[in-house]
């Protein structure tokens, strides 16, 4: 990572501080930043909620979270972190600010920094975003602040427009950070670094050489821990129109003038504008058998837990190349992979495997880049085989990977919006998904532990999905 200027005094306000998202992602990420020395020495974290929780009770909760999710720390790390934790209760609405304004004023006094940067992180249900934003404006907590919104930013084209107008009524665009943790992954960032830094890759990054692109994120996880949220959301909103569309834009974008925030955002959002609206004939939805038996799920729920889609990008670079997107719950394996499948060359060799030459980015963990290619099988004849070259990114010299949430929160603290989404791109995302959301095909049942409905296999022909239910 490029060295950045030292941060100034910062007050980080975590809405929904005792909720599931804060526990799983935000609190461990913020602790990693503190533990790594990436925060200014003058900072404070204020958790908020409806209950009247004391500072000490909140500190106990945070330490339990670190233990629950296996975040390594010693007593020295914890004591230095705990001293900077506060809690503001009583709720927070346009009519009732609770104790948050007083807690912010006290934090500024304790930091001896009247101009401390204020960062609000809304780890809240999307239905509360507009009201919480209005409350920030009503109680003078929006001026100069940066505000982080979790996904999804809207649930339809109309809902996005309504939310976007409500947010911009209080905040300037430069204050808004719509987070997508897939963009914070080291491997996702390597999609454009590997391409633009290596001529041998950039030269084949187009329709002439690439037959199809696969963005595949199957999960073995169920939805027990967030069943009510998931049954109201489903795989399309939870993953497709957020994470997978953004990763597709990373792959499909034209070279930006620089990798600065404005140029990178513009390149990403511009190519999203070239995404063709989804044809429901190119989409397969599924629901795993037993989903309706989960506590919190309606007995007659039609919510999809699986989606596979064929997306078309109408640019000169990618016209005619299918982008195959797949994700789902309770599948046979958990993977996070982006694969460019290259066309077989014209020439004297026959029977070349259709998926023999593939460039793959593993987005999970620290990430890995894999190149598979057709080679001669050792022996007396010219039989063909497929060989692999792998580069685990944690073996790169001086590697110091941050978890995606840690990276993105650090970018917010520095005011770097390059890995965050813009409203123009999001507006077109909802246009792309509009027909699917208005009139979705029925979700087909599939057995837990499978790779989804068999109809999804046809979308990926002739190569087939590269991720299968078998161990690699």
Tokens of residue 416, six digits:
């770097």
Cβ–Cβ < 8 Å for 214, 359 = no
Mean of the pLDDT values across residues 58-62?
96
Query: Is the preceding omega at residue 152 within 30 degrees of 0, hence cis?
Result: yes
Instruction: For the chain, state the CA radius of gyration.
Output: 23
Cβ–Cβ < 8 Å for 338, 191 = yes
Of 86-95, 251-260, 317-326, 360-369, least confident by mean pLDDT is 360-369
Tokens of residue 299, six digits:
């007995």
Measured CA to CA in angstroms, residue 465 lies from 187, 209, 435 at distances of: 20, 19, 25
Q: Is residue 452 left, alpha or beta, with left meaning phi > 0 and alpha meaning psi from -120 to 50?
A: left
Beta-carbon contacts of residue 64 (< 8 Å; ≥ 6 apart): none
Beta-carbon contacts of residue 391 (< 8 Å; ≥ 6 apart): 368, 369, 370
Mean of the pLDDT values across residues 427-437?
93
CA distance 339 to 317: 17
- The better pLDDT of the pair 350, 274 is held by 274
Cβ–Cβ < 8 Å for 306, 443 = yes
Position 389 pLDDT exceeds 50: yes
Task: List the catalytic residue out of 61, 120, 192, 243.
Answer: 243
Tell whether residue 329 is among the known ligand binding residues: yes
- Phi, psi torsion values for 128, nearest 5 degrees: -100, -5
Q: Which regions of 105-235 does DSSP assign to beta strands (E)?
A: 117-122, 146-149, 176-178, 210-218
Give the residue carrying structure tokens 């990926």. Answer: 460
Tell whether residue 209 is among the known ligand binding residues: no
Tell whether residue 185 is among the known ligand binding residues: yes
DSSP states of 353-367 as a string? -TTSSEEEEE-STT-
Helices 157-170 and 129-138 meet at what angle, rounded to 10? 10
- The better pLDDT of the pair 299, 181 is held by 299
- The better pLDDT of the pair 225, 328 is held by 328
Beta-carbon contacts of residue 5 (< 8 Å; ≥ 6 apart): 414
CA distance 236 to 311: 13
CA distance 148 to 200: 38
Measured CA to CA in angstroms, residue 416 lies from 166, 174, 261, 344 at distances of: 23, 10, 7, 41
CA distance 338 to 194: 13
What per-residue confidence (pLDDT) applies to 1?
Answer: 42
CA 244-363-429 angle, 5° bins? 15
Of 103-112, 260-269, 462-471, least confident by mean pLDDT is 462-471
Percent of the chain with pLDDT over 70: 96
Tell whether residue 23 is among the known ligand binding residues: yes
Tell whether residue 181 is among the known ligand binding residues: yes
- The better pLDDT of the pair 401, 200 is held by 200
Mean of the pLDDT values across residues 171-179?
95
74 band by pLDDT with thresholds 50, 70 and 90: confident
Position 299 pLDDT exceeds 70: yes
CA proximity to 341, closest of 378, 315, 370: 370
CA distance 148 to 416: 12
Tokens of residue 269, six digits:
């959002």
Report which listed range, 167-176, 336-345, 357-366, is most confident.
167-176
399 band by pLDDT with thresholds 50, 70 and 90: low
Domains of the chain plus CATH, in order, are 10-150 (3.40.50.720), 183-396+437-460 (3.30.360.10)
Exposure of 154 by Cβ count < 10 A (0-12 exposed, 13-18 middle, 19+ buried)? buried
Position 419 pLDDT exceeds 70: yes
Tell whether residue 461 is among the known ligand binding residues: no
CA distance 79 to 34: 12
Cβ–Cβ < 8 Å for 417, 261 = yes
Q: Give kind and range of the element (H or E) at residue 138.
A: helix 129-138
Tell whether residue 22 is among the known ligand binding residues: yes
Q: Give kind and range of the element (H or E) at residue 409.
A: helix 404-414
Beta-carbon contacts of residue 212 (< 8 Å; ≥ 6 apart): 321, 322, 323, 324, 341, 460, 463
Q: What is the pTM of this model?
A: 0.87
The per-residue pLDDT for range 126-159, each reduced to its tens digit, is: 899 999 999 999 999 999 999 999 888 888 889 9
Tokens of residue 204, six digits:
């084949």
192 carries an active-site annotation? no
Position 448 pLDDT exceeds 70: yes
DSSP states of 426-453 as a string? HHHHHHHHHHHHHSPPPPEEE-TTS-S-
Tell whether residue 67 is among the known ligand binding residues: no
């Amino acid at each position: 990572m490029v060295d950045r200027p030292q941060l100034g005094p910062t007050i980080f306000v975590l809405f929904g501080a005792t909720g599931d998202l804060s526990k799983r992602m935000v609190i461990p990420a913020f602790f990693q930043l503190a533990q790594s020395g990436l925060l200014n020495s003058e900072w404070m974290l204020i958790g908020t909620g409806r209950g009247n929780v004391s500072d000490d009770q909140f500190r106990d909760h945070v330490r339990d979270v670190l233990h629950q999710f296996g975040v390594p720390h010693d007593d020295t790390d914890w004591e230095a972190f705990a001293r900077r934790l506060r809690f503001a209760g009583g709720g927070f609405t346009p009519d009732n600010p609770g104790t948050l304004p007083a807690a912010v004023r006290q934090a500024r006094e304790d930091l001896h920094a009247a101009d401390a940067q204020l960062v609000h992180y809304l780890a809240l249900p999307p239905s509360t975003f507009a009201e919480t934003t209005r409350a920030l404006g009503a109680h003078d907590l929006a001026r100069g602040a940066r505000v982080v919104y979790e996904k999804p930013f809207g649930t339809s084209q109309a809902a996005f427009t309504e939310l976007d107008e409500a947010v911009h009524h209080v905040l300037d665009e430069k204050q808004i950070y719509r987070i997508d943790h897939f963009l914070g992954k080291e491997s996702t960032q390597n999609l454009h670094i590997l391409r633009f830094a290596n001529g041998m890759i950039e030269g084949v990054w187009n329709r002439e050489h690439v037959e199809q692109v696969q963005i595949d994120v199957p999960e073995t996880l169920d939805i027990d821990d967030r069943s009510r949220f998931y049954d109201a959301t489903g795989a399309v909103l939870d993953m497709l129109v957020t994470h997978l569309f953004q990763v597709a834009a990373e792959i499909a974008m034209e070279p930006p003038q620089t990798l600065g925030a404005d140029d990178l955002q513009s390149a990403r959002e511009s190519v999203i504008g070239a995404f063709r609206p989804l044809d429901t004939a190119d989409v397969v939805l599924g629901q795993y058998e037993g989903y309706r038996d989960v506590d919190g799920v309606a007995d007659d729920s039609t919510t999809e837990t699986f989606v596979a889609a064929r997306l078309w990008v109408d640019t000169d670079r990618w016209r005619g190349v299918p982008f195959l997107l797949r994700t789902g719950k309770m599948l046979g394996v958990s993977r996070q992979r982006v694969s460019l499948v290259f066309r077989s060359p014209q020439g004297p060799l026959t029977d070349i495997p259709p998926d023999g030459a593939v460039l793959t980015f593993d987005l999970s963990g620290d990430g890995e880049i894999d190149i598979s290619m057709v080679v001669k099988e050792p022996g007396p004849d010219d039989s063909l085989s497929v060989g692999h070259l792998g580069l685990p990114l944690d073996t790169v010299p001086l590697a110091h990977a941050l978890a995606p949430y840690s990276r993105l929160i650090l970018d917010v603290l520095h005011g770097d919006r390059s890995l965050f989404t813009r409203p123009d791109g999001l507006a077109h995302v909802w246009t792309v998904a509009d027909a699917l959301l208005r009139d979705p095909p029925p979700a087909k049942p599939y057995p837990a532990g499978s790779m989804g409905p068999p109809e999804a296999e046809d979308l990926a022909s002739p190569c087939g999905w590269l991720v299968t239910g078998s161990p690699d």
